[in-house]
Protein backbone atom coordinates (compact mmCIF):
# COMPACT_ATOMS: atom_id res chain seq x y z
CA UNK A 1 0.00 0.00 0.00
CA UNK A 2 1.27 3.44 -0.90
CA UNK A 3 0.24 6.15 1.56
CA UNK A 4 1.11 9.69 2.49
CA UNK A 5 0.83 12.44 5.07
CA UNK A 6 0.48 16.17 4.56
CA UNK A 7 2.15 18.58 6.98
CA UNK A 8 0.76 22.11 6.76
CA UNK A 9 3.11 24.63 8.37
CA UNK A 10 1.80 28.08 9.24
CA UNK A 11 0.33 30.12 12.07
CA UNK A 12 -1.99 31.80 9.58
CA UNK A 13 -3.81 28.52 8.91
CA UNK A 14 -4.31 27.77 12.62
CA UNK A 15 -5.47 31.30 13.40
CA UNK A 16 -8.09 31.00 10.66
CA UNK A 17 -6.67 33.99 8.76
CA UNK A 18 -5.88 31.83 5.73
CA UNK A 19 -8.11 28.97 4.63
CA UNK A 20 -6.04 25.93 3.73
CA UNK A 21 -6.63 24.76 0.17
CA UNK A 22 -3.67 22.42 -0.13
CA UNK A 23 -4.96 19.43 1.85
CA UNK A 24 -8.02 18.97 -0.39
CA UNK A 25 -5.89 19.40 -3.52
CA UNK A 26 -3.18 16.96 -2.45
CA UNK A 27 -5.76 14.48 -1.12
CA UNK A 28 -7.53 14.33 -4.47
CA UNK A 29 -4.33 14.22 -6.54
CA UNK A 30 -2.83 11.48 -4.39
CA UNK A 31 -6.03 9.44 -4.48
CA UNK A 32 -5.98 9.65 -8.27
CA UNK A 33 -2.62 7.84 -8.17
CA UNK A 34 -3.91 5.29 -5.65
CA UNK A 35 -1.98 6.90 -2.80
CA UNK A 36 -3.99 7.02 0.41
CA UNK A 37 -3.78 10.25 2.39
CA UNK A 38 -3.55 8.76 5.86
CA UNK A 39 -2.86 11.76 8.07
CA UNK A 40 -2.77 15.54 8.04
CA UNK A 41 -1.11 17.77 10.59
CA UNK A 42 -1.35 21.53 10.79
CA UNK A 43 1.32 23.08 12.98
CA UNK A 44 2.77 26.47 13.86
CA UNK A 45 5.93 28.10 12.49
CA UNK A 46 8.00 26.48 15.21
CA UNK A 47 11.22 24.61 14.58
CA UNK A 48 10.76 21.99 17.30
CA UNK A 49 7.18 21.29 16.18
CA UNK A 50 8.23 20.90 12.54
CA UNK A 51 11.08 18.52 13.41
CA UNK A 52 8.92 16.38 15.72
CA UNK A 53 6.13 16.09 13.16
CA UNK A 54 8.54 15.30 10.32
CA UNK A 55 10.35 12.62 12.32
CA UNK A 56 7.09 10.79 13.03
CA UNK A 57 5.45 11.21 9.65
CA UNK A 58 8.42 10.28 7.46
CA UNK A 59 8.91 7.10 9.47
CA UNK A 60 5.21 6.19 9.23
CA UNK A 61 4.20 6.87 5.63
CA UNK A 62 5.52 6.32 2.12
CA UNK A 63 5.56 10.05 1.39
CA UNK A 64 5.30 13.29 3.34
CA UNK A 65 4.31 16.55 1.64
CA UNK A 66 4.90 19.78 3.51
CA UNK A 67 3.21 23.04 2.61
CA UNK A 68 4.40 26.50 3.59
CA UNK A 69 7.34 28.31 5.11
CA UNK A 70 9.88 28.38 2.24
CA UNK A 71 9.65 32.08 1.34
CA UNK A 72 12.17 34.87 2.00
CA UNK A 73 10.87 36.32 5.29
CA UNK A 74 11.82 35.65 8.93
CA UNK A 75 8.74 33.46 9.50
CA UNK A 76 9.80 31.07 6.71
CA UNK A 77 11.68 28.45 8.70
CA UNK A 78 10.70 25.19 7.02
CA UNK A 79 13.92 24.55 5.06
CA UNK A 80 16.14 25.01 8.11
CA UNK A 81 13.87 22.78 10.20
CA UNK A 82 13.87 20.04 7.55
CA UNK A 83 17.69 20.15 7.39
CA UNK A 84 17.83 19.81 11.15
CA UNK A 85 15.33 16.93 11.14
CA UNK A 86 17.57 15.07 8.68
CA UNK A 87 20.75 16.04 10.54
CA UNK A 88 22.31 17.75 7.51
CA UNK A 89 23.48 21.28 6.77
CA UNK A 90 21.47 23.86 4.94
CA UNK A 91 23.54 24.77 1.89
CA UNK A 92 23.20 27.31 -0.89
CA UNK A 93 22.32 25.40 -4.06
CA UNK A 94 24.01 26.81 -7.22
CA UNK A 95 21.19 25.73 -9.53
CA UNK A 96 18.61 27.36 -7.23
CA UNK A 97 20.70 30.56 -7.22
CA UNK A 98 20.84 30.43 -11.04
CA UNK A 99 17.04 30.15 -11.25
CA UNK A 100 16.50 33.04 -8.85
CA UNK A 101 19.06 35.12 -10.74
CA UNK A 102 17.32 34.41 -14.02
CA UNK A 103 14.07 35.53 -12.44
CA UNK A 104 15.18 38.55 -10.47
CA UNK A 105 18.42 39.69 -12.07
CA UNK A 106 21.62 39.90 -10.07
CA UNK A 107 20.79 43.35 -8.70
CA UNK A 108 17.64 42.18 -6.90
CA UNK A 109 19.17 39.00 -5.52
CA UNK A 110 19.50 40.24 -1.95
CA UNK A 111 20.16 38.12 1.15
CA UNK A 112 16.45 37.49 1.74
CA UNK A 113 15.92 36.09 -1.77
CA UNK A 114 19.12 34.04 -1.58
CA UNK A 115 17.66 32.38 1.51
CA UNK A 116 15.23 30.69 -0.90
CA UNK A 117 18.20 28.98 -2.58
CA UNK A 118 19.26 27.27 0.64
CA UNK A 119 18.27 23.62 0.81
CA UNK A 120 19.32 20.69 2.98
CA UNK A 121 22.46 18.96 1.74
CA UNK A 122 21.50 15.97 -0.41
CA UNK A 123 18.06 17.30 -1.33
CA UNK A 124 17.00 17.62 -4.97
CA UNK A 125 15.17 20.64 -6.33
CA UNK A 126 11.47 20.70 -7.18
CA UNK A 127 10.67 23.07 -10.05
CA UNK A 128 8.62 26.19 -9.43
CA UNK A 129 7.38 27.42 -12.82
CA UNK A 130 5.37 30.21 -11.14
CA UNK A 131 7.92 32.18 -9.13
CA UNK A 132 11.24 30.32 -9.63
CA UNK A 133 12.11 29.72 -5.94
CA UNK A 134 12.28 25.93 -5.83
CA UNK A 135 10.87 23.39 -3.43
CA UNK A 136 12.94 20.30 -2.70
CA UNK A 137 12.78 16.60 -2.03
CA UNK A 138 14.86 14.86 0.59
CA UNK A 139 14.34 11.11 0.91
CA UNK A 140 10.56 10.62 1.14
CA UNK A 141 9.78 14.23 2.10
CA UNK A 142 8.59 16.78 -0.49
CA UNK A 143 8.86 20.39 0.67
CA UNK A 144 6.41 22.59 -1.22
CA UNK A 145 5.30 26.23 -1.13
CA UNK A 146 2.19 27.23 0.79
CA UNK A 147 0.66 29.43 -1.92
CA UNK A 148 -1.81 27.04 -3.59
CA UNK A 149 -1.00 28.07 -7.15
CA UNK A 150 2.69 27.42 -6.57
CA UNK A 151 2.13 24.19 -4.64
CA UNK A 152 -0.02 22.87 -7.46
CA UNK A 153 2.55 23.76 -10.11
CA UNK A 154 5.26 22.06 -8.04
CA UNK A 155 3.13 18.95 -7.61
CA UNK A 156 2.42 18.83 -11.35
CA UNK A 157 6.14 18.50 -11.94
CA UNK A 158 6.82 15.82 -9.36
CA UNK A 159 3.67 13.72 -9.74
CA UNK A 160 5.21 11.26 -12.19
CA UNK A 161 8.04 10.47 -9.75
CA UNK A 162 5.58 9.01 -7.20
CA UNK A 163 4.84 5.32 -6.90
CA UNK A 164 1.33 4.35 -7.91
CA UNK A 165 -0.94 2.39 -5.60
CA UNK A 166 -3.96 0.33 -6.49
CA UNK A 167 -6.68 2.73 -7.65
CA UNK A 168 -9.13 3.41 -4.83
CA UNK A 169 -12.71 3.59 -6.00
CA UNK A 170 -15.89 4.30 -4.08
CA UNK A 171 -19.63 3.73 -4.44
CA UNK A 172 -22.21 5.67 -2.46
CA UNK A 173 -25.83 4.89 -1.66
CA UNK A 174 -28.08 7.27 0.29
CA UNK A 175 -30.94 5.97 2.43
CA UNK A 176 -33.87 7.70 4.09
CA UNK A 177 -33.19 6.01 7.40
CA UNK A 178 -31.78 6.88 10.80
CA UNK A 179 -28.28 5.58 11.47
CA UNK A 180 -29.34 3.81 14.66
CA UNK A 181 -31.78 1.64 12.71
CA UNK A 182 -29.21 0.77 10.08
CA UNK A 183 -26.19 0.17 12.28
CA UNK A 184 -26.59 -3.50 13.20
CA UNK A 185 -27.20 -4.69 9.64
CA UNK A 186 -24.37 -2.52 8.37
CA UNK A 187 -21.96 -4.05 10.87
CA UNK A 188 -22.74 -7.50 9.46
CA UNK A 189 -22.12 -6.30 5.93
CA UNK A 190 -18.79 -4.76 6.95
CA UNK A 191 -17.80 -8.00 8.68
CA UNK A 192 -18.43 -10.10 5.59
CA UNK A 193 -16.48 -7.70 3.35
CA UNK A 194 -13.28 -6.94 5.26
CA UNK A 195 -11.47 -5.61 2.19
CA UNK A 196 -14.09 -2.92 1.65
CA UNK A 197 -14.09 0.11 3.92
CA UNK A 198 -17.70 1.01 4.67
CA UNK A 199 -18.47 4.44 6.09
CA UNK A 200 -21.80 5.73 7.36
CA UNK A 201 -22.39 9.48 7.19
CA UNK A 202 -25.61 11.05 8.44
CA UNK A 203 -26.60 14.26 6.70
CA UNK A 204 -29.01 16.33 8.78
CA UNK A 205 -28.84 19.49 6.71
CA UNK A 206 -29.88 18.13 3.31
CA UNK A 207 -33.42 18.87 2.08
CA UNK A 208 -34.20 15.24 2.91
CA UNK A 209 -32.09 14.21 5.92
CA UNK A 210 -30.51 10.88 5.05
CA UNK A 211 -27.57 8.58 5.68
CA UNK A 212 -24.92 8.17 2.98
CA UNK A 213 -23.20 4.80 2.95
CA UNK A 214 -19.84 4.92 1.21
CA UNK A 215 -18.03 1.74 0.17
CA UNK A 216 -14.37 2.22 -0.72
CA UNK A 217 -11.81 -0.26 -2.00
CA UNK A 218 -9.92 -1.48 -5.02
CA UNK A 219 -12.22 -4.25 -6.34
CA UNK A 220 -15.26 -2.91 -8.25
CA UNK A 221 -17.25 -6.14 -8.01
CA UNK A 222 -16.75 -6.32 -4.24
CA UNK A 223 -18.09 -2.77 -4.02
CA UNK A 224 -21.07 -3.80 -6.16
CA UNK A 225 -21.84 -6.65 -3.78
CA UNK A 226 -21.62 -4.37 -0.74
CA UNK A 227 -23.96 -1.81 -2.31
CA UNK A 228 -26.40 -4.60 -3.25
CA UNK A 229 -26.41 -5.85 0.34
CA UNK A 230 -26.97 -2.32 1.68
CA UNK A 231 -29.87 -1.96 -0.76
CA UNK A 232 -31.33 -5.26 0.48
CA UNK A 233 -30.90 -4.07 4.09
CA UNK A 234 -32.75 -0.86 3.22
CA UNK A 235 -35.57 -3.02 1.81
CA UNK A 236 -35.79 -5.01 5.04
CA UNK A 237 -35.97 -1.76 7.03
CA UNK A 238 -38.51 -0.23 4.68
CA UNK A 239 -36.06 2.61 4.01
CA UNK A 240 -36.21 4.48 0.71
CA UNK A 241 -33.05 4.62 -1.41
CA UNK A 242 -32.57 8.28 -2.22
CA UNK A 243 -29.98 8.24 -4.98
CA UNK A 244 -27.09 6.13 -6.11
Between the alpha carbon of residue 111 and those of residues 12, 74, 212, the distances in Å are: 25, 12, 54
By the rule CB under 8 A, 202 interacts with its own copies: yes
Q: Name residue 51's beta-bridge partners.
A: none
- With binding defined as CB under 8 A, does residue 227 bind its own copies? no
Q: What is the DSSP string of 26-45?
A: HHHHHHHTT-EEEEEEEE-S
CB nearer to its own copies: give 187 or 208.
187
Question: Interface with its own copies includes 216 (CB under 8 A)?
Answer: yes
Residue 160 CB neighbours (<10 A): 8
Query: Is residue 237 close enough to count as binding its own copies by CB under 8 A?
Result: no
Is 221 a binder of its own copies (CB under 8 A)? no
Q: How far is the CB of 60 from its own copies (least distance, A)?
A: 9
Residue 218, interface with its own copies (CB under 8 A)?
A: no
**Contact set for its own copies, span 88-127 (CB under 8 A):** 104, 108, 110-113, 115-116
Least CB distance to its own copies at residue 144 (A): 15
Closest CB 182 distance from its own copies, rounded Å? 7
| Residue from 81, 182, 223, 226 in contact with its own copies (CB under 8 A) | 182
- Return all residues near 218 (Cβ < 8 A) that are at least 6 apart: 34, 166, 167, 168, 169, 195
Choices 39-47, 91-99, 157-165, 236-244 (CB under 8 A): range interacting with its own copies: 39-47
d(CA 90, CA 128): 19
Alpha helices in 61-118 (DSSP H): 78-86, 94-104, 111-114
Looking at 54-152, which runs of residues are DSSP E strands?
63-67, 90-92, 118-120, 124-126, 135-138, 141-144
SS3 167: coil
- Which range, of 44-52, 80-88, 157-165, 236-244, touches its own copies by CB under 8 A? 44-52
Q: Does 243 bind its own copies (CB under 8 A)?
A: no
Per CB under 8 A, residues contacting its own copies are: 11-12, 14-19, 23-24, 27-28, 31, 36-45, 49, 71-75, 104, 108, 110-113, 115-116, 130-131, 147, 149, 170, 179-184, 186-187, 190, 197-202, 204-205, 214, 216
Amino acid sequence: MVNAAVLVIGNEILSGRTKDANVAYLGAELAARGIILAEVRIIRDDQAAIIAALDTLRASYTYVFTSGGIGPTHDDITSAAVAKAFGVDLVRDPEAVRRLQERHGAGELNAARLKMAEIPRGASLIDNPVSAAPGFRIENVFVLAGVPRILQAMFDGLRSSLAEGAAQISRTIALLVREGDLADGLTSIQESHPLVEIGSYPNFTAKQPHVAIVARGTDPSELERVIAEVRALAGQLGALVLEE
